[in-house]
Amino acid sequence: MSYSVTEPSNETKWIAGILVIGYAIITILPLLWIIATGFKSSTDAIAYPPKVLFEPTLEGYVNLFTTRTRVTESDFAALPPPTTWYETIVRDQGLIIAGPSRYGERFLNSVIIGFGSTILCMVLGTAAAYAFSRFRVPLKDDLMFFILSTRMMPPIAVAIPIFLMFRSIGLSDTHLGMILLYTAVNLSLSVWLLKGFIDEIPVEYEEAALIDGYTRFQAFIKVVLPQAAAGIASTAIFCLIFAWNEYAFAVLLTSGNAQTAPPFIPTIIGTSGKDWPAVAAGATIFLMPVMVFTILLRKHLLRGITFGAVRK
């Protein structure tokens, strides 16, 4: 092996590795704790000292998806034996199932609003980004800065008029209203990122296509889009994650019908106070897809979180 002055020595590497891994383990602990708590019984969850080894149970998950109620002892004794595994788990707590909880609905709302706004945002964003990248749009720099500056406003500050506006046109607490809102919020990020990706595609490809008799529109669809596919996909994941995680608008503008999971999960309570295993179960199901996406995205992560300001 050749000697290099810039290559760190083996000892340096070892020390650096140990320190970074130590930090990684500390930083991942709260997340592991969420996952573990979801599989604990309610007594194990609040045990002292905190239990690392415990008997796993699906109690939290069952409680997450059901509402339960207490019945008198004589009624309880008179019940026929439980027929399903989840009924057994509820009966063991001395309760009976009263019906499904709202978690399923809220999760579905998150899916609908997240995907709806992401798709709309990609359609609008790709078109706008292409125009900004290839054409001489008047006031281009001002428009780009304007799009970016919409991110500086605290969401609460615009929530008042949006609340009034949605109420007057019947969009409050609807999926469509939230999809439009999240699309607008994400548009700045997606136009900014996509312009960067499209800028990197050599303009010669389109010129060749135009000479071959393609129209501008065909060239955009057949030449530019396939080449920008990776960029579009990673931008889409960023928009999806943002819409998925958004809380401020969701808590202020939705209540019954279109409420997403983030405002709902903290409100999960059991029959006696906060049901932490159920909260943790709800959080685990909700956070898991984002963890997977993050791992898929890791190459483009930096670009996404910095609005394309840092590319590599």
Distance between CA atoms of 170 and 49, rounded to whole angstroms? 52
Shortest distance (Å) from residue 113 CB to other proteins: 14
Quick one: 79 or 305, whose CB is closer to other proteins? 305
Query: What is the rounded CA–CA span in Å between residue 308 and residue 312?
Result: 9
Among positions 24, 79, 230, 233, the unique one binding other proteins when judged by CB under 8 A: 24
Kindly state the tokens that stand for 121. 């945002």
Return the closest-CA partner of residue 222 out of 210, 237, 238. Answer: 210
DSSP state of 124: H
Question: How would you classify residue 9: left for phi > 0, otherwise alpha for psi between -120 and 50, otherwise beta?
Answer: beta
Subset of 55-84 contacting other proteins (CB under 8 A):
none
Interface positions, 187-226, toward other proteins (CB under 8 A): 187-188, 191, 215-218, 221-222, 225-226
Nearer to other proteins, 98 or 153 (CB): 153
Minimum CB separation of residue 245 from other proteins in Å reads 4
**Please, which residue, 79 or 203, has the CB nearer to other proteins?**
203
Q: Determine, following the binding rule CB under 8 A, whether residue 283 of this chain makes contact with other proteins.
A: yes
Tell me: does residue 29 bind other proteins (CB under 8 A).
yes
Give the residue with the Cβ less far from other proteins, 84 or 149: 149
Among 23, 94, 200, 203, binds other proteins (CB under 8 A): 23
What minimum distance in Å lies between the beta carbon of 186 and other proteins?
A: 11
Indicate which single residue of 98, 108, 165, 203 sits in contact with other proteins (rule: CB under 8 A): 165
Site for other proteins in 221-280 (CB under 8 A): 221-222, 225-226, 229, 241, 244-245, 247-248, 251-252, 261-263, 265-266, 276, 279-280
How many angstroms separate the CA atoms of 308 and 104, rounded? 35
Length of the chain in terms of residues written: 312
Binder of other proteins out of 49, 81, 99, 273 (CB under 8 A): 49
Q: Binding to other proteins by residue 291, rule CB under 8 A? A: yes
Least gap, CB of 37 to other proteins (angstroms):
7
Residues 92-151 that bind other proteins (CB under 8 A): 124-125, 127-128, 130-132, 135-137, 143, 146-147, 149-151
Burial string for 234-255 (b: 16+ CB within 10 Å, else e) reads: bbbbbbbbbbbbbeebbbebbe
Q: Is 8 in the site for other proteins (CB under 8 A)?
A: yes
| Amino acid, res. 235 | T
Q: With contacts defined by CB under 8 A, how many residues of the chain interact with other proteins?
A: 104
Longest Cα pair distance anywhere in the chain, in angstroms? 85
Residue 175: count other Cβ atoms within 10 Å of its Cβ: 17
Tell me the residue ranges of DSSP E strands in the chain.
Answer: 66-69, 96-100
95 and 271 Cβ atoms separated by less than 8 Å: yes
Full DSSP string of 3-19: --SSSPPHHHHHHHHHH
- 107 neighbors 268 (Cβ within 8 angstroms): no
Is residue 159 involved in binding other proteins (CB under 8 A)? yes
